[in-house]
Amino acid sequence: MTMFESEHITATNPTGHEFTDRYRSALLNAFGPPQRVLVRGEGARVWDADGTEYLDLLAGIAVNALGHAHPALVAAVQQQAESIIHVSNFFATPPQIELAETLLRLAQAPDGSGVFFANSGAEANEAALKLARLTGRPRVIALEDSFHGRTLGSLSLTWKKAYREPFEPLPGGVEFLPAGDTEALARALAPGDVAAVFAEPIQGEAGVVPLETEYLLAARRLTREHGTLLVLDEVQTGMARTGHWFSHQRIDGLQPDVMTLAKGLGGGVPIGAVIACGPATRGLLQPGQHGTTFGGNPLAAAAALAVIRTIADDGLLEHAQQMGELIEHAVTALHDPRLVAVRGAGLLRGIALRDPRAAAVAAVALEEGYIVNAPNPTTIRLAPPLIIQESQLRGFIAALPGLLDAAAARGEN
């Protein structure tokens, strides 16, 4: 047997357990053992290695905007792969340029704005933090319960101590303020030495918690008054996830200085983006100060263009709004005292539980054929593909009381 051969390659229909054993022996233990080994997807459904079908209500955590194996995305990737997949950043490609122009239009960015392409949300936030550093100001503000990524730079903006502390010391100068506290923000900005304020319009990892409109508008006003960049992290909330191209567009007058994107932008193909709004912000970054090998490669750009065109052509902005309202109304109509509230917007929703049993509910749901997520002990997160059907959502919501019963019977949190 040569170094390129494996006894596993020729195995016929390995089971999920066999794949999991191989996973344990071959991959670093960054995520723990996989819950399932998924081998195929179609629309909002996926199948595991044992042939079990699941309704995917998480979409790779708001990534698979068009679901799985969408014909438009498959065709775009195939067509681009047959042409050219990668060039270095010494060169440009038509898909890269067209995607940048398209994002600037969708963002309603002012003249003189520009785009930097990365490969993920963490990298996009890393680039945004570098932009902030280039202002020459020493301080950066982030919010409690925020999540901006796990690279050292983006991790310094992330609130959860369990994520940050093993890797300290992190890049300095970042301060955390309570989300929604306008007075605290005003005090922090008063000295005039804050480079940027980073905020998620909806804090996903905190349990799908929207920032109040009044707070976001106050943040826009205060940062403008003090010459501070307002950076909106739309990694999870962007690309029609909330029923708007970008979540902040639900609020009139909320134009950021910098916006970061990833996740749903490529529909599953890795890509991230930074939009610097206006010539002053765009002009901060000069040649040689930042870079990436794969960012904006033509394959990822072509995929993103296909996602955007399909969202527009198939009316998925409106569909996301309608299906999000359906989730909220249908869950509320259950009148189940164990369900406290439905937070979020569009197809990014957090179902708040009375008891800290979200992880058990998610585990039971998986056994019953539903993929959901528990970002904290009292929240079930739904971020299904934008193409999700009403009947599929209603089926899950009808099953929800039974899932709660089963989780309670286990006595697990």
What is the strand order of the sheet 38-42 is part of?
A: 38-42, 45-48, 53-56, 370-371
pLDDT digits (tens, 9 = 90+) for 257-316: 999 999 999 999 999 999 999 999 999 999 999 999 999 999 999 999 999 999 999 999
Which pLDDT score is estimated for 1?
Answer: 53
Instruction: Mark residue 321 as left, alpha or beta (left: phi above 0; alpha: psi -120 to 50; beta: remaining).
Output: alpha
pLDDT digits (tens, 9 = 90+) for 15-57: 999 999 999 999 999 999 999 999 999 999 999 999 999 999 9
Residue 363 has pLDDT above 80, yes or no: yes
pLDDT digits (tens, 9 = 90+) for 319-336: 999 999 999 999 999 999
* Torsion sign (Cα): 154, 342, 399, 237: negative
Of residues 384, 341, 335, 376, the one with CA closest to residue 359: 376
Q: Where in the chain is the domain with CATH 3.40.640.10?
A: 74-313
> What percent of the chain is modeled with pLDDT above 70?
97
**Amino acid, single-letter form, for residue 136:** G
Contacts of 322 (CB under 8 A, 6+ apart): none
Can you read off the two tokens belonging to residue 337?
Answer: 């005292």
Which pLDDT score is estimated for 12?
Answer: 73
Burial class (CB in 10 A: 0-12, 13-18, 19+), 32: exposed
User: In 315-325, which positions are buried (b, 16+ CB within 10 angstroms) versus exposed (e)?
Assistant: ebbebbbebbe
- pTM for this structure? 0.95
Which pLDDT score is estimated for 321?
Answer: 98
Which pLDDT score is estimated for 413?
Answer: 64
Which pLDDT score is estimated for 412?
Answer: 66
pLDDT (average), residues 67-88: 98
Which pLDDT score is estimated for 122?
Answer: 98
Among all chains, which residue has been given the structure tokens 């301060």? Answer: 175
Q: Supply the mean pLDDT for the chain.
A: 96
37 and 16 Cβ atoms separated by less than 8 Å: yes
Residue 411 has pLDDT above 80, yes or no: no
Contacts of 405 (CB under 8 A, 6+ apart): none
- Between CA 341 and CA 323 the distance in angstroms is 17
**Amino acid, single-letter form, for residue 371:** I
Which pLDDT score is estimated for 7?
Answer: 55
Which pLDDT score is estimated for 410?
Answer: 86
Q: Where are the alpha helices (DSSP H) in 314-367?
A: 316-333, 358-367
* Superfamily covering domain 35-64+315-410: Aspartate Aminotransferase, domain 1 (3.90.1150.10)
The residues that bridge with 376 in the sheet, in sequence order, are 379
Q: What is the dihedral of CA 296, 297, 298, 303, to 10 degrees?
A: -70
Q: Where in the chain is the domain with CATH 3.90.1150.10?
A: 35-64+315-410
**Amino acid, single-letter form, for residue 173:** G
pLDDT digits (tens, 9 = 90+) for 182-209: 999 999 999 999 999 999 999 999 999 9
What CATH number does the domain located at 74-313 have?
Answer: 3.40.640.10
* DSSP E strand stretches across 43-163: 45-48, 53-56, 114-118, 139-143
Among all chains, which residue has been given the structure tokens 């359906």? Answer: 326
Residue by residue, DSSP assigns 215-284 as HHHHHHHHHHHTT-EEEEE-TTTTTTTTSSSSGGGGSTT---SEEEE-GGGGTTS--EEEEE-SHHHHTT
The SS3 call for residue 77 is helix
DSSP code at position 137: -
- Between CA 103 and CA 277 the distance in angstroms is 11
> What percent of the chain is modeled with pLDDT above 90?
96
pLDDT (average), residues 97-115: 97
Residue by residue, DSSP assigns 78-92 as HHHHTT-----TTS-
* 386 half-sphere exposure, CB direction, 13 A CA radius: 36
